[in-house]
Amino acid sequence: MSTLISEPESSAREFARSHARPADHAGHTDDFRGASPSGHAVYADALVRHYNGNRAVDHVDLRIPAGEIYGFLGPNGAGKSTTVRMLCTLLAPTGGRALVAGYDVARQPGQVRLRIGVALQEAALDPRQTGYELLSLQGRLYGLSGKALARRLTELGELIDLGDALDRQIGTYSGGMQRRLDLAAALVHNPQVLFLDEPTTGLDPASRARAWSEIRRLNEQLGTTIFLTTQYLEEADELAHRVGVIDHGRIVAEGTPAELKRSVGTDVIVARVAGDARAARFRVEAVPGVLSVEAHGDELVIATADGAGAISPVAVALADSKMTVRDLTLRTPTLDDVFLELTGTHIERKSPEEDPS
C-alpha cells in the first residue's frame, strides 16, 4: 500500500493542499475524460475495507464508463462513504483493487488525484475566507495563476451562480451556498471524474433542485464522469444513468433506474373507497392481470403486471361491488420498492420534504 495514502481520513481540502500539480493540467480538456484503457472511468475489483475486523465494504465491483452519472444508493452505514474515500485515495483498501481515470488508487494515488474532484459531505470551509479567496487558493494549489486563474474563477463563478456573494466571507453563506462553493472548489482543475458524497443532504428543496441541475450540466457540457453517493431515492432516480444499490457493504443490485424498477415487476393501483375496502376485494381479485390485492381500511392496494391495462377493469369491478370510489391512482414501483424487495427494509427517508422535522 502506498504511503501517499493518508490515514486517518482526510478532508477534500487537505487532499487538494497535499497535492501540487503541473501547471499545464488545470483547465485541460480532452476527449478522454477519465477513461481507463479498459474504457472505465472507475473500475473496482473485489474492493474491501475493514474497520477493526468489521467489513464496511465487502467485495465491491464497479465498472463505470467515462461520461456516466453513477448513483451509489444505500441507507446510512451501508458503506458508501468508505467506498468513495478509497476511490479518492483518502483511505487505503484492505483488499481488492480500484482504478480511477485509468490509475491504481493504491499504487498511483498522485495520478488519480490530478484527475479527480472531490466534494465530501462536510465541506471544511474557513468561515473568515471569502468565496473568491478560497477558489483562488484552490486554483493556485493546482498551478493556475494570472489570466488563466482569473478566467477559471469567472467560469466557476458563472457555473455556481454565486454572484457578488463570492466577495463575502463564507461565514455569511447559507448551507446551499456553501455546498455550491465547495463544488466549485472541487472543479477548479476541471477533473475528469467528480466524486460527490451526499451532495444534497441537509439542503432545502430549492437548493437541492439547483444542485441537481448543476450536476446535470457538468455532466452534459463537460462530459465529467460523476460518482454520486446518496440516500435519497429521488436523487438517484432523477440524476443517475445507472444506480448501484449498496447494503451492508455489498452491491445488491445495479442497473438503470428503469431497469431496477422493472425488476420489481409490477405496477400498483391504489383505490380509496367509501367504507370497508374488503367488500370489493374478491371482485377485484378476479380481474384478469391482477396479481394480488391487499385491503387496509378504506384502501385497496392492487398489484398488476400492466397497470395501464388493468385500471379500467378494476374501476368496473369496484362499481360492480357497489363501492363509491374516492380516488384511483396508478403508481409505478419506486427505487424504495426495489430496495424493500432486495433487503426487506426501507431506505431511510430523510429528505426535507419527507421529514419536516
Binding site for ligand ADP (CB under 6 A): 51, 56, 74, 76-82
CB nearer to ligand ADP: pick between 78 and 280: 78
What the block records as the C-alpha cell of 199 is 451532495
Distance in Å, CB of 125 to ligand ADP, minimum? 21
Contact predicate 202/176, CB 8 Å = no
Distance in Å, CB of 144 to ligand ADP, minimum? 32
168-172 — which CB contacts under 8 Å span 24+ positions?
A: 168/130, 168/131, 169/127, 169/128, 169/129, 169/130, 170/125, 170/126, 170/127, 170/128, 170/129, 170/130, 170/131, 170/134, 171/127, 171/128
CB nearer to ligand ADP: pick between 24 and 355: 355
Distance in Å, CB of 307 to ligand ADP, minimum? 33
CB nearer to ligand ADP: pick between 37 and 53: 53
Distance in Å, CB of 105 to ligand ADP, minimum? 16
Distance CA 180, CA 145 (A): 22
CB nearer to ligand ADP: pick between 250 and 262: 250
Distance in Å, CB of 129 to ligand ADP, minimum? 28
CB nearer to ligand ADP: pick between 66 and 120: 120
CB nearer to ligand ADP: pick between 82 and 130: 82
Distance in Å, CB of 91 to ligand ADP, minimum? 9
Distance in Å, CB of 49 to ligand ADP, minimum? 8
Contact predicate 243/236, CB 8 Å = yes
CB nearer to ligand ADP: pick between 49 and 242: 49
Distance in Å, CB of 39 to ligand ADP, minimum? 27
Distance in Å, CB of 80 to ligand ADP, minimum? 3
CB nearer to ligand ADP: pick between 54 and 221: 54
* Residue (of 21, 12, 19, 193) closest to 101 by Cα position: 193
CB nearer to ligand ADP: pick between 51 and 282: 51
